[in-house]
Amino acid sequence: MPIVEIVTSCLLTYSSTEYLYGTKRRALHAAWVVIGLQLLEAFISLKFSWRLSLPANLWPLKVVLVAGTFIATLWLDCARVRRPEPRAFAAELGRAMLVLLPVFPWVTVLLSFGFLVLGSALEFAGLPTRVLNGPIYYGTLYGPFSIVYHQVKKRQAYSPLLPSISSAGNGETSAPPEFRIIREMLPGL
C-alpha cells in the first residue's frame, strides 16, 4: 500500500471540497499537486523500481491510517479558515460518521455498482475499461472517508456550526450569537 495513494486521495478530496465549498483556485492548485505527485511517483518507480510504501506488517492498520490521515487533513482544512473548537469538531465528525456508519457497506456496493455499469458501457462501446481501474479502486476504498470529509466541510462552509477558538487564547469560543443563546438556555453545553 503506497503512502502516495493515501496522500492522493486526501488531496483529491480536498480539491473537490474546495471546488464545491471554497475557492476554485485552491482546488486547481491541489489538482496540480496530485498530478505532480503521480508523475513523480511514476518516474521514481520506473527509474529506480522503488515505491514509497508501508511495511507489510502495517497493512492491517490501513483503515486506521487512512481515517487518521483524513481527519488530520479535514482539521487542517477547517482550521485554515477558522480554527474550530476541538470538542465541536469532534462532535461534528462523530455525527457525520454515525450518519454514514449504517450505510457504509451499501455506499461501497453502490459505488462499485456504478463503476460496473460504467465499465459495461465502455466495454459495449469497444473502449478500454482499464482506464476505470484507478477510479474504482479509489472510489471504493476511499469513497466513504471522502463522504464524511464532504459532510463536515459542507457544514463548516455553510453554517457557523464549528465555533472557533478565540485568538486571545483564553479558551473562550467566538461562537455566533445564536449559539450563545443556546448555551445560555442549556448551560451544560
Supply φ then ψ for residue 2, to 5 degrees: -70, 140
Mean pLDDT of 64-81: 88
Contacts of 1 (CB under 8 A, 6+ apart): 53, 54, 59, 62
- Among 85, 178, 101, 176, CA closest to 145: 101
Name the residue with higher pLDDT: 140 or 9: 9
Provide the CA 36 distance to its chain's centre, in angstroms: 19
**Could you list the residue range(s) of the whole structural domain that residue 67 is in?**
3-185
Query: pLDDT band at 103, cuts 50/70/90?
Result: confident
Number of domains in the chain: 1
Mean pLDDT of 42-50: 75
- Are 74 and 152 contacting, i.e. CB atoms less than 8 angstroms apart? yes
Neighbours of 148 (CB within 10 A): 23
Distance CA(143)–CA(71), nearest Å, equals: 14
Query: pLDDT band at 183, cuts 50/70/90?
Result: low
Name the residue with higher pLDDT: 80 or 25: 25
Where is average pLDDT lowest: 7-21, 53-67, 166-180?
166-180
